[in-house]
Amino acid sequence: MSQVDNQICTTCADPTELEPVKPKRFKYRMAVLSAIMLTLGIIVEALNFDVLIVYGVFLISMLSAGQFIIPRGVQGLLKLRLDMHFLMSSASIGAFIIGAPAEGAAVMFLFFISMLLEERAEDQVKKELWGLIELEPRSATILVKGSEACIPTSEVKRGDILIIRPGSRIGLDGVIMNGETSVNQAPITGESVPVPKIIGDQVYAGTINQEGYIEVEVTSESNETILSRIVELVEEAKNKKAPTEKLITRFSRKYTPVMVTLTVLLGLISLLLGSSITEATYRALTLLVISCPCAFVVSIPVSMVSSIAGSAREGILVKGGVHIEQVSKTKNVAFDKTGTLTEGILAVKEVCLHNNYTKSDVLTAAAALEQMSEHPIAKALVAAVADEDFQMREVDRFSAIPGLGAEGTIGDITYLVGNRRLLIEQEIELEKLTEHKCGVGTMVYVAKNHEHLGTIILSDSLREGAIDAIQELKSMGINSTMLTGDSEIVAKEIAEEIGVNHYMAELLPQEKVKAIEDLSASGSTVMVGDGINDAPALAVADVGIAMGAVSSDAALETADIALMQQDLRKVPALIKKAKKTMTIVRQNITVSISVKLVIGILAALGLVNLWMAIGIGDMGLTFAVIANALRLVRKQ
């Protein structure tokens, strides 16, 4: 453990560990050598050099690239699994045998280039994932007996105190114990604006301390941080294939043997129609090259993984390509109300007074009876008394009435605080709220000595961006529904304010599940909730989206997709990205099949040579579909 005095701890790791994609220098050198020898071969052939020299130069070109292809083709043949490596090896070697070494070398070189392009695309996606991994510093400065020590983050334990200076990246999840600052949480949540942080606030590994000195008590070790969980889940998502992707994989396994058979038939038919053995073989080899499904097979996985990686950069964690495809079909989006469409924090909206009592009489009595409770309503009542600067009253006797409210005495007077049913059961005459022009919301009734003092109306504020999200969904033609266990009156007011198409009120958890099942009958349904209370509904929906997963481990486990930030505008953004992903997938499939089909027909007619087959039908096509797919990595 090295002592550090007044320095920023940078890294204790070997710098080579940080490199996500090691340069494939040897492969690149072989590609260059193959290109040089191919060019040289064309020159010596044009200058009428000895045929052995010409063949030798082209053979070096072919083997320089073929050393990465031919062995895999032979392995496939031995296992009776004919793949693209077998196709290209057969075409290249066959071209040499029939006296077309230039074409044989070109086939191998250009296919090798297409392989490198595919690897480059995979590397690009890996860089996105490694970009997340590299967000977590390899070391951290901690307080040890009053002095500072720089140690690897893997050795930091819960309860250790991190020292985070301005401009430093926060090494582990924790709670601020000293100081205040603003933190750039964009790498985790996608938020563009730094978030103010004070003592008691949570901070996350990989985020950046903008301006103030803070001391943070570690709450999660290096393998338990939100960031490490995100990386782990994104890695797992790469292996969860979408239905379309699985279909293409199954198709490609049967496609290659069929094309090999057609190639042989083409050669035989050409011979029967009078072509020479060399011409018939050349035509068959051209079709063999064109039949390589490289572009076709790579187009979907590259598109899906690019979309998943791009979404992760925007604070949207998608757990597999299957969910991307399902989201693209969305017809309905169902939202939980409390904590999703609303902030989930109740506040006193209004106090409706009855029988000539004052606001102070009502609020202080209610707060006094509820001050020991942790219920959100109780917290709202206590906060309202503090805001109004009223004097909190002392309760002499208190008893809870399950499902109804509470009873207590202040002085010699008995008070009741609870729902409407409590006062009805106590045979207390209720004042009609309509006569007092009270608003709507969650209502708390207050009475004393069998007289109705007043009704406290609490409400929950709408989440920022909720109205924008609903309007965006409407513009996309997607139905929005609000599901809540709250009363019909409260639900109707929120639904009208926020603009959802439909709402369902007074639902129990099992009734939310039934509502989702009914919605799913009319089309693919997405459920958006907090990931904990809405777990059954999230599970039964076609796709479950958890809100604010950065603050809930359960949300990361429950839902198919997790929004790291509590921003509902990311829901329509996700749907748009999913639709764009599937559009690109369809484009890639259509282009791949169309180009292969056209060039295949031309090859069968003898109108296409090996150069055109590999240059357009394989390498060029592979480059086009990969470039199209990588657009999904870019941040929208």
Which residues are known to be catalytic? 336
Nearest to 139 by CA among 46, 251, 256, 2: 2
Distance between CA 212 and CA 250 in Å, rounded? 56
Query: Can you read off the two tokens belonging to residue 89?
Result: 């090896």
Q: If phi over 0 gives left and psi between -120 and 50 gives alpha, with beta otherwise, what is residue 107? A: alpha
On whether the CB atoms of residues 103 and 60 are closer than 8 A, the answer is no
Radius of gyration (C-alpha) of the chain in whole angstroms: 34
Look-up of token digits 């920022």: 464
On whether the CB atoms of residues 366 and 423 are closer than 8 A, the answer is no
C-alpha distance from residue 541 to each of 96, 227, 335, 536, 577 (Å) = 58, 26, 11, 9, 20
On whether the CB atoms of residues 548 and 566 are closer than 8 A, the answer is yes
Distance between CA 322 and CA 241 in Å, rounded? 6
On whether the CB atoms of residues 433 and 468 are closer than 8 A, the answer is no
End-to-end CA distance of the chain: 43
Q: Is 132 exposed, middle or buried (0-12, 13-18, 19+ CB in 10 A)?
A: buried
156, HSE (Cβ side, Cα atoms, 13 Å): 35
Nearest to 343 by CA among 380, 387, 385: 380
Distance between CA 129 and CA 100 in Å, rounded? 44
Nearest to 594 by CA among 256, 289, 265, 290: 290
Distance between CA 300 and CA 302 in Å, rounded? 5
Distance between CA 338 and CA 155 in Å, rounded? 40
β-pairing verdict for 543-546 and 561-563? parallel
Distance between CA 623 and CA 621 in Å, rounded? 5
Nearest to 60 by CA among 108, 26, 27, 113: 108
Look-up of token digits 């063949």: 55
On whether the CB atoms of residues 378 and 362 are closer than 8 A, the answer is no
On whether the CB atoms of residues 484 and 505 are closer than 8 A, the answer is yes
